[in-house]
Chain A
Amino acid sequence: MGDLLAPANTLEVLLGNEAVARGALEAGLNVAAAYPGTPSTEIGEALAKVAKLVGIYFEWSANEKVATEVAMGAAWSGLKALTMMKHVGFNVASDAIFTLAYAGVTGAMVIVSADDPHAHSSQNEQDNRHYSESVGLPMLEPSNPQEAKDLTKEAFELSSKYKIPVMVRTTTRISHQRGPVRLGEITAGFSKGKFVPPEPDRYLQVGAIARKHHAELLGKLKEISLDVAPSYAKVEGASDAEFGVITSGVAYAHAKEALKLVNVNAKILKLGMTFPLPEKDIGEFLSSVNTVLIVEELDPYLEMRVKAIAKDYAPEVEVLGKLTGHMPRVGEYTMRTVLEGLSKALGVVLPVNFAEIDSRSSEILKKVPPRPPILCPACPHRSTGYALRRAAGRAAFMGDIGCYALLFQKPFRVEHVTHAMGSSIGLANGIDVATDQDVVALIGDSTFFHAGIPALINAVHNKRKMTVVIMDNRITAMTGHQPHPGTEVNAVGDEAPAIDIEKIVRSIGIDYVKVVDPYDHAATEKVIRDALKHDGVSVVITKRECALLTVARLRRQGQKIVPYRVNPDKCTYCRVCINTFACPAFVDTGSLVEIDPTVCFGCGACVPVCPYGAFEPQEGSLNWREQKIGV
């Protein structure tokens, strides 16, 4: 991690997300709240780390809507507030945000939406630029870490000037891009504000009042489009060029280099604000060229609006992009994407022979086995998956969002569905209504707090029959180990009341509740079989901390991680271990199974899997189950 508190005027290596955090600190941030979600997470991690030093308030909230409301409360009390989320997190928060746009703020509020083209770690490729337009909030889009910092700071300034929340949109390659950032002065710190609505009906959005505020909002946006948006529209390149490119965000970075490589006479219009758009500047740019290529990831958001503007300003100009088939609509952009688009648009010869590269490398890639993400060695979810497969192999499995979604893979296949946060239990309600199948909902601890509880309450009240497996690994693991309401510490490392999942479950009237260590495969299997027989909602909590936490703790304590081994005299090469447990440390030599000592964490969870007892500890190996490590 870069040093978020490095002094002003120095250059520091910052991740795009850290740069956003720094920008907020320079803007005078007071309060920030978020729920972790890739690619937005490190903004919160950076703030959590420095919160006490700088004296700001930061929390990991139960979900994005709550986080937004925490920030809103602060911004309505005259403070500067920040919330950030991944694109799909915005869907959760949107219920509050649509109306927030009408209400505005008295202090300042910035909402960061981190979109994920290519769905690197997401369930879809949602384009949140549409949100800014439909919600009615201005949107700034940085194209590198330096701009991520600068624009976040400017977003706060705009927000306090226009009394409107401002969105900053990043995409994966901005969030997770590291680069040199020139720093400014930090002015952040917490102080109490005062909640006094600027006028009595400001925050009461009902009927007539909401209509009044809607009209006001549209007025502000008009003003911003005329007074602010033009300052974010930058033209680069040859002024006499007849070919132009309109772009924003990381797509600009690719386009800039690609144009240099093909050496065509071109100019670029780079938009730092993508809502509201600087109509006149775009119109003038269009009138100055014959052809324009729109370079943007995901939806043809700019393309459609540019076309509409062209109709008024330059009806002759040719607008090329996704809709004309020059640029792809799916996946993230690279320099190659842009080069290929340019070659289609202009017929230029490319500096790189992609066809040759493809034919040469495709032969080689055919021989490289795929390596999709897989549960870590020692992951407790693997053990839960193993027990579920044996105990409930025929059930309909509703999965959820978390590392355990990887249990959809062979050999477990106990995730038929991964949809949205908390959907596993909600969907199990529906499947149980509609079928006679056994239904199992799998959900993690953090996800349970985020959106699982209402669905579970629904199941009880509506007398559903289903088994809910809550895989409690004591942390929000997938995003990099953020605490949640069930952990004993909060975001900034202070002790916090841990909400007891078992007690919540019992308190809503579920009487079949069992807590089990998933490493105890036999017990877990038995409990699940039992739970499936229960008439009504049954809950099995498989509780064991994320293996990465255990390993980190053992290493901190100075313990050596000593791998297990396979006793070659006992291994019959039946491959049962690979076919049912598939730990990434297993190596199939063709005549034996071995354990790769560079991968094995030495947990011993494989021991009960081998029918011949071939997995053995080595001198110094621990047995996490017997020694109750991580339970």
Chain B
Amino acid sequence: MSVREFNVIVAGVGGQGILFTTNVMARAALKLGLNFAQSEVHGLSQRYGSIRTELRIGSDVSSPLVLEGTLDLLIALEPLEGLRQAPYISERTTVVMNNHVIPPVGAYLERFPIPSFDEILELMRSLNPKQIMVLNAYDIAKRAGDYIVANTVMLGAAQATGVLPFPEGVLREALEEVSPSRYRDLNLRAFDLGRESVSPPR
């Protein structure tokens, strides 16, 4: 398999399992023998603030950071955080977005107006991404067994869009390998439900 360049950003709020989601994709890339570079945030920056990881896959990749305007896939576990990636989004971007808004409590103190999900979606559309998939990842995760696997639901949905440079089986195997044993079955269920939620898989 050869990929020249494929750029993913996973964005959300600290605590949503963003690192885990990205690690699964990195593991899939490794399994396929693809070159990749992933960059993530640690420390103070993950205390319920905005966080995002960047994953770049491809033979031409050496920088671990995505260049503005060249994003292929955005996985937004939280819609405001998805919108915050605006500089990276272009016609080549597929957006997979959770519809559950987590308003930053600091915004209330500053009286900063918080856009509704519909407003966020409209702003996202104005950036002209290739496609936007919206799902209620928390509901689907709860159906799988626990809302803490909403991140895996999102990953399944991302796989179903068909843009990821991995066959489904490889990503699923990678998920199995990266999951702690206690959460393995739960994660696999969440992944499958996430995949089914994007229809029809072309």
Q: Please name all residues of chain A whose beta carbon is closer than 8 Å to the beta carbon of B108 when the two chains form the complex.
A: 575, 578, 582, 586, 588
Q: Mark B42-66, 1 if CB is under 8 A from A, else 0.
A: 1111111110000000001111110
**Known contacts A336-B68, A368-B83, A598-B100: A582-B43 contact under CB 8 Å:** no
A589 and chain B: residue at smallest CB distance: B103
Q: Mark A360-378, 1 if CB is under 8 A from B, else 0.
A: 1100110111111111110
Of B48, B65, B87, B105, which contacts A373 at CB under 8 A? B48
Output the least CB separation between B17 and chain A (Å).
Answer: 12
Are B65 and A334 in contact, CB atoms less than 8 angstroms apart? yes
Q: Number of A-B pairs whose CB atoms are under 8 Å?
A: 201
Output the least CB separation between A446 and chain B (Å).
Answer: 14
Are B123 and A582 in contact, CB atoms less than 8 angstroms apart? no
- Asked whether any CB of chain B lies closer than 8 Å to the CB of A352, the reply is yes
Q: Which one of B22-30, B156-164, B192-200 is at the interface? A: B22-30
Are B102 and A599 in contact, CB atoms less than 8 angstroms apart? yes
**Known contacts A335-B63, A361-B87, A403-B47: A370-B106 contact under CB 8 Å:** yes
CB-CB contacts below 8 Å: A42-80 with B: 42
Are A367 and B115 in contact, CB atoms less than 8 angstroms apart? yes
B67 and chain A: residue at smallest CB distance: A335
Max count, chain B CB within 10 A of own CB: residue among A372, A373, A578, A582: A373
Give bound CA distance, A579 to B62, whole Å: 46
- Asked whether any CB of chain A lies closer than 8 Å to the CB of B201, the reply is no
Output the least CB separation between A79 and chain B (Å).
Answer: 30
Output the least CB separation between A374 and chain B (Å).
Answer: 5
B83 and chain A: residue at smallest CB distance: A368
- Asked whether any CB of chain A lies closer than 8 Å to the CB of B70, the reply is yes
Are A257 and B60 in contact, CB atoms less than 8 angstroms apart? yes
Q: Please name all residues of chain A whose beta carbon is closer than 8 Å to the beta carbon of B45 when the two chains form the complex.
A: 120-121, 373
Are A177 and B37 in contact, CB atoms less than 8 angstroms apart? yes
CB-CB contacts below 8 Å: B57-94 with A: 60-65, 67-70, 80-81, 83-84, 86-87
CB-CB contacts below 8 Å: B148-167 with A: 150
Are B38 and A179 in contact, CB atoms less than 8 angstroms apart? yes
Q: Please name all residues of chain A whose beta carbon is closer than 8 Å to the beta carbon of B62 when the two chains form the complex.
A: 144, 252-254, 256-257
Q: Please name all residues of chain A whose beta carbon is closer than 8 Å to the beta carbon of B38 when the two chains form the complex.
A: 177-179
Q: Please name all residues of chain B whose beta carbon is closer than 8 Å to the beta carbon of A410 when the two chains form the complex.
A: 106, 109-110
Q: Mark B164-187, 1 if CB is under 8 A from A, else 0.
A: 000000000000000000000000
- Asked whether any CB of chain B lies closer than 8 Å to the CB of A283, the reply is no
Are B123 and A367 in contact, CB atoms less than 8 angstroms apart? yes
Are B23 and A39 in contact, CB atoms less than 8 angstroms apart? no
Of A336, A365, A588, which contacts B84 at CB under 8 A? A365
Are B63 and A373 in contact, CB atoms less than 8 angstroms apart? no
CB-CB contacts below 8 Å: B28-43 with A: 29-30, 33, 35-43
**Known contacts A335-B63, A357-B68: A369-B14 contact under CB 8 Å:** no
Are A578 and B42 in contact, CB atoms less than 8 angstroms apart? no
Give bound CA distance, A367 to B113, whole Å: 8
Of A121, A180, A369, A575, which contacts B103 at CB under 8 A? A369
Output the least CB separation between B106 and chain A (Å).
Answer: 6
Are B43 and A478 in contact, CB atoms less than 8 angstroms apart? yes
Are A374 and B39 in contact, CB atoms less than 8 angstroms apart? no
Q: Please name all residues of chain A whose beta carbon is closer than 8 Å to the beta carbon of B49 when the two chains form the complex.
A: 371-374
Give bound CA distance, A405 to B43, whole Å: 13
Q: Please name all residues of chain B whose beta carbon is closer than 8 Å to the beta carbon of A38 when the two chains form the complex.
A: 42-44
Output the least CB separation between A85 and chain B (Å).
Answer: 14
Of A13, A358, A371, A587, which contacts B13 at CB under 8 A? A371
Are B63 and A352 in contact, CB atoms less than 8 angstroms apart? no
- Asked whether any CB of chain B lies closer than 8 Å to the CB of A411, the reply is yes
Are A373 and B14 in contact, CB atoms less than 8 angstroms apart? yes
Are B86 and A360 in contact, CB atoms less than 8 angstroms apart? yes
Are A173 and B39 in contact, CB atoms less than 8 angstroms apart? yes
Residue total for B at the interface (Cβ-Cβ under 8 A): 62
Of A144, A179, A252, A370, which contacts B104 at CB under 8 A? A370
CB-CB contacts below 8 Å: A251-301 with B: 252-254, 256-258, 260-261
Are A365 and B86 in contact, CB atoms less than 8 angstroms apart? yes
Q: Please name all residues of chain A whose beta carbon is closer than 8 Å to the beta carbon of B1 when the two chains form the complex.
A: none
Are B42 and A41 in contact, CB atoms less than 8 angstroms apart? yes
Q: Please name all residues of chain B whose beta carbon is closer than 8 Å to the beta carbon of A598 when the two chains form the complex.
A: 100, 102, 138, 147, 150
CB-CB contacts below 8 Å: A330-375 with B: 334-336, 339, 352-354, 357-358, 360-361, 364-365, 367-375
Of B37, B109, B138, which contacts A253 at CB under 8 A? B37
Of A121, A361, A583, which contacts B86 at CB under 8 A? A361
Give bound CA distance, A173 to B14, whole Å: 19
A332 and chain B: residue at smallest CB distance: B65
Q: Please name all residues of chain B whose beta carbon is closer than 8 Å to the beta carbon of A257 when the two chains form the complex.
A: 60-63
Give bound CA distance, A354 to B104, whole Å: 29
- Asked whether any CB of chain B lies closer than 8 Å to the CB of A406, the reply is yes
Q: Please name all residues of chain B whose beta carbon is closer than 8 Å to the beta carbon of A575 when the two chains form the complex.
A: 108
**Known contacts A178-B23, A371-B49: A376-B15 contact under CB 8 Å:** yes
Of B70, B109, B113, which contacts A411 at CB under 8 A? B109
Output the least CB separation between B189 and chain A (Å).
Answer: 17
Give bound CA distance, A588 to B119, whole Å: 17
B82 and chain A: residue at smallest CB distance: A368
Q: Mark B102-142, 1 if CB is under 8 A from A, else 0.
A: 11111111101111000100010011000000000010000
- Asked whether any CB of chain B lies closer than 8 Å to the CB of A480, the reply is yes
Q: Please name all residues of chain A whose beta carbon is closer than 8 Å to the beta carbon of B30 when the two chains form the complex.
A: 11-13, 180
Give bound CA distance, A144 to B87, whole Å: 25
Are A375 and B47 in contact, CB atoms less than 8 angstroms apart? yes
Give bound CA distance, A121 to B41, whole Å: 9
Q: Please name all residues of chain A whose beta carbon is closer than 8 Å to the beta carbon of B107 when the two chains form the complex.
A: 369-371
Are A583 and B65 in contact, CB atoms less than 8 angstroms apart? no
A352-B67, A372-B50, A403-B44 are known; give 9 further A-B pairs, CB within 8 A: A173-B39, A253-B62, A352-B69, A369-B107, A373-B14, A405-B44, A584-B104, A598-B138, A599-B102
A-to-B contact residues, CB < 8 Å: 11-13, 38-39, 41-42, 120-121, 144, 173, 176-180, 250, 252-254, 256-258, 260-261, 334-336, 339, 352-354, 357-358, 360-361, 364-365, 367-377, 403, 405-406, 409-411, 478-480, 575, 578-579, 582-584, 586-588, 596-599
Task: State the 4 A-B residue pairs at the shortest beta-carbon distance, nearest first.
Answer: A38-B43, A121-B43, A373-B49, A361-B86
B-to-A contact residues, CB < 8 Å: 13-15, 23, 26-27, 29-30, 33, 35-50, 60-65, 67-70, 80-81, 83-84, 86-87, 100, 102-110, 112-115, 119, 123, 126-127, 138, 147, 150
A–B complex contacts, Cβ < 8 Å, 18 sampled: A11-B30, A13-B23, A41-B42, A177-B37, A178-B40, A258-B63, A352-B68, A361-B86, A368-B84, A369-B110, A370-B107, A371-B81, A373-B44, A480-B43, A584-B102, A584-B105, A588-B103, A599-B102
